[in-house]
């Protein structure tokens, strides 16, 4: 499928790095409003460049457009693509307002067009390993989930020197103004909704721990660098999501707690991340058993000391072999999402990361980011009428009969 890229900044190079994994995609055009970025991107990749999205849509024959602009430009660019009859793949979030995101989804549906988008870690090998373990009943009935999305203390790093392969600077002004929820929470939210279905209620708190971020006059108002949300799923599962860029050590782990034990994904950014299962301690509190638990705790500490990269211990869960090249930055295949969408379009079906899922994730992320605009707890308006993993996981959900709920019934 012929594709085009709109926005040739920092993240665009990660898509280009993994484009070679997917021969189904053919890049025919790109555009950026910055002349310097157009020149650098064209020189590095040899792609035909345009000054803006309207020129690209008028003169290129791209069938699928990747909107990789900054989040505040997503709506205008995405709407132009859909009005031009092009399928759309959008970086996260879909838009910065729920109403405009809903408008895009309805526009695409009315014109028979496909919308998909980031993040695509739902398609990772680690996510597939978790799905297989859950469907096999490894954890039993799921009761709670603890999701961490801490990227570490960015301010302690030399972020001004970060450059992509074609020379784009890391957009720290956008990152600091929008905050970690907008930039990073989608990785957790999309995967959780794919696994456990629609979220019906979200209660959140956020804060700006470092108000005096670098940026000078460029930085108008810093966004929250710490956010905590409690999520209640229609299926009865509950989750706590922490998203920040202030902790000293990065932690992007996911812990799924069930009746039989805990499934842990070491790093949801890594498509090839290991997955562990730790059985529930069901034995009594006799002295021999306390000594046994102490022994294993100390052994665990020793393993982590001797192997610094080993974050978790337990029984390794089988994970499919990684397919293709992954970026060095985060061990992800950014182009896998557009490739899966292209295959779905050709087959006449919805992509795994559907417009419905993107709208759902966008609403929840915005509720976390703007608690002044959304009442807390926020009753989620968007729904997932169905999701691909529902049948396989239903027997291991606390209330599977509530997985498909009309929004009016949900509010009641």
Claim: this prediction has a pTM higher than 0.85: yes
One pLDDT digit (tens) per residue for the chain, 412 residues: 999 999 999 999 999 999 999 999 999 999 999 999 999 999 999 999 999 999 999 999 999 999 999 999 999 999 999 999 999 999 999 999 999 999 999 999 999 999 999 999 999 999 999 999 999 999 999 999 999 999 999 998 999 999 999 999 999 989 999 999 999 999 999 999 999 999 999 999 999 999 888 765 566 788 999 999 999 999 999 999 999 999 988 999 999 999 999 999 999 999 999 999 988 875 455 667 667 767 766 776 676 666 656 666 678 899 999 989 999 888 999 999 999 999 999 999 999 999 999 999 999 999 999 988 888 899 999 989 889 999 999 999 998 776 654 443 443 3
Burial-class residue 116 by CB neighbours within 10 Å (0-12, 13-18, 19+): buried
Tell which residue, 324, 321, 305, has the closest CA to residue 313. 305
Multiple choice CATH, 2-117, 3.30.450.20, 1.10.1060.10, 3.50.50.60, 3.40.50.720: 3.40.50.720
**Nearest alpha carbon to residue 363 among 239, 195, 186, 211:** 186
Say if CB 89 and CB 341 are below 8 A apart. Answer: yes
8 A C-beta contact, residue 191 and residue 237: no
Report the interhelical angle of 98-110 vs 355-369 (nearest 10°). 170
Angle, alpha carbons 262-247-148 (nearest 5°): 25
CATH H superfamily, domain 124-333+355-411: Dihydrodipicolinate Reductase; domain 2 (3.30.360.10)
pLDDT in tens, 19-57: 999 999 999 999 999 999 999 999 999 999 999 999 999
Cis peptide before 145 (omega within 30 of 0): no
DSSP H or E segment with residue 37: helix 35-45
Structure tokens at 255: 């812990």
Q: Where are the domains of the chain?
A: 2-117, 124-333+355-411
Residue-wise pLDDT tens digits, 164-214: 999 999 999 899 999 999 999 999 999 999 999 999 999 999 999 998 887
């Amino acid at each position: 499928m012929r594709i085009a890229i709109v926005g040739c900044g920092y993240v665009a190079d990660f898509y280009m790095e993994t484009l070679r994994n997917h021969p189904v995609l053919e890049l025919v055009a790109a555009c950026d409003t910055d002349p310097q970025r157009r020149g650098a991107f064209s020189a590095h990749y040899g792609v035909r460049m345009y000054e803006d999205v309207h020129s690209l849509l008028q003169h290129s024959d791209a069938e699928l457009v990747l909107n990789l602009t900054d989040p505040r430009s997503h709506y205008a660019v995405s709407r132009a693509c859909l009005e031009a009859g092009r399928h759309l793949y959008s970086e996260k979030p879909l838009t910065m307002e729920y109403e405009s995101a809903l408008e895009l989804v309805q526009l695409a549906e009315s014109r028979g067009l496909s919308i998909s988008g980031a993040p695509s870690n739902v398609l990772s090998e680690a996510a597939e390993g978790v799905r297989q373990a859950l469907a096999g009943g490894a954890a039993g009935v799921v009761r709670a989930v603890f999701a961490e999305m801490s990227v570490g203390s960015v301010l302690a790093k030399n972020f001004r020197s970060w450059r992509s392969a074609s020379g784009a600077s890391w957009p720290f002004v956008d990152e600091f103004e929008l905050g970690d929820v907008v930039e990073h929470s989608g990785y957790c939210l999309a995967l959780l909704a794919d696994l456990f279905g629609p979220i019906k209620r979200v209660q959140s708190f956020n804060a700006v721990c470092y108000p005096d971020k670098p940026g000078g006059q460029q930085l108008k108002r810093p966004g929250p660098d710490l956010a905590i949300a409690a999520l209640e799923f229609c299926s009865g599962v509950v989750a706590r999501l922490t998203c920040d860029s202030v902790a000293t050590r990065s932690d992007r782990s996911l812990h799924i707690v069930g009746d039989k034990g805990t499934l842990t994904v070491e790093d949801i950014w890594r498509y090839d991340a290991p997955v562990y299962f730790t059985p529930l301690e069901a034995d009594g509190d006799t002295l021999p058993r306390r000594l046994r638990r102490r022994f294993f705790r100390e052994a665990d500490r020793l393993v982590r000391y001797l192997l610094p990269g080993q974050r978790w211990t337990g029984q390794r869960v089988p994970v499919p072999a990684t397919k293709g090249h992954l970026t060095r930055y985060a061990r992800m295949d950014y182009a896998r999402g557009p490739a899966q969408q292209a295959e779905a379009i050709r087959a006449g079906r919805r992509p795994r990361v559907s417009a419905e899922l993107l709208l759902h994730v966008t609403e929840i992320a915005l509720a976390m980011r703007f608690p002044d605009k959304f009442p807390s707890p926020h009753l989620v308006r968007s729904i997932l009428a169905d999701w691909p993993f529902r049948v396989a996981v239903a027997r291991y959900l606390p209330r599977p009969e509530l997985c498909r709920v009309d929004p009016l019934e949900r509010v009641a």
